[in-house]
Amino acid sequence: MSMRVLVTGSSGQLGSYVCERLMQDHEVVGIDIRPQQYEALRKISIVGDVTSRSDIASVLRGVRRVVHCAAQVSVEKSTENPVFDAQANVIGTVNLLQQSSESRVEKFLYISSAAVLGQPRYTPIDESHPTEPISNYGVGKLAGEKYALAFARNSPMEVSCIRPFNFYSPRADPTSPYSGVITKFVNRLKAGKPPVIEGDGLQTRDFIHALDVVEMVALMLDKDGLDGQIFNCGSGHPTSILDLAINAIMLSGLSVKPEFTPPRVGDIRESVANCTKARETLGFRPKIDLDQGLAELLK
């Protein structure tokens, strides 16, 4: 059944894909502090701020479902300016939750982050793993999660959370100093330069294509009875940064070797998602494997 859906952060990497996917079945409205850069989404997009009461009030009219992608996503920026980070990620989320509840939104999906977990105590990481974030960004995303779950208990709105692990896509901004490791590696290889690895490269991550995250978003919006639930979203496969670099070099056709620099302070050593809950509850299975995703980026 078609309905009006609000997607926040609609100009961003994930939000833009979410808009495109949901437009197949629903009437979508997007809001972002940046003007919409994708032509097909300009007609559904509004420039506005999730921290602004009036901006949110104007876009929530007639909205039945909300997908909250908007966020300050840089760990580095959250360290440099924690007040800005909290304003965007905590106050923005609370404002959106409150106004959505008051507007009788039926379903609210909060896009969280694996950064809420901190240093893993065990892997693969399931949804009941302790949350001990080690960055201001992780703390802000966890606060948003806790507020979302409180609204799940205290309002008639059905609220659930999705925790994406390391997602990537051609829409990640290669010019940003805050880009993920895949984007950085691909950007250097496209310029004929070797990828630069921080540390020994044996640290592992769980990489998932943004389009697979979008599929889980669509599955969660379609399924009832998820109130107060959290779902991991990853591939379920650990990939070392060294293997990532070697594969990316091979796919690029260049004859270079990775360069190594000192490790980052506080870098997480191992990270991989346990996605059993998403598979069993939602029928979620990622479709784009890492080599396929890398080849697409290197084209």
Measured in degrees and rounded to the nearest 5, phi and psi for residue 95 equal -60, -45
Matching residue, tokens 């998602």: 273
Which residue matches tokens 């909205």? 63
- DSSP letter at 200 equals S
Of 244, 179, 253, nearest to 205 by C-alpha is 244
Q: Where are the beta strands (DSSP E) in the chain?
A: 4-8, 27-32, 45-47, 65-68, 107-111, 158-164, 166-168, 196-198, 204-205, 207-209, 230-233, 239-240, 259-261
Tokens of residue 23, six digits: 């437009």
Candidates 17, 110, 137, 147; catalytic one: 137
Q: Any bridge partners for residue 207, and if so which?
A: 166
- Say if residues 216 and 233 touch (Cβ distance below 8 Å): yes
CA–CA separation, 266 and 120 (whole Å): 12
Is residue 168 part of the annotated active site? The answer reads: no
Asked if the peptide bond before residue 124 counts as cis, ω within 30 degrees of 0, the response is yes
Q: Which two tokens stand for residue 131?
A: 């949350």
Parallel/antiparallel/unpaired status of strands 239-240 and 204-205: antiparallel
Contacts of residue 43, Cβ cutoff 8 Å, sequence gap at least 6: none
Residues with a catalytic annotation lie at: 137
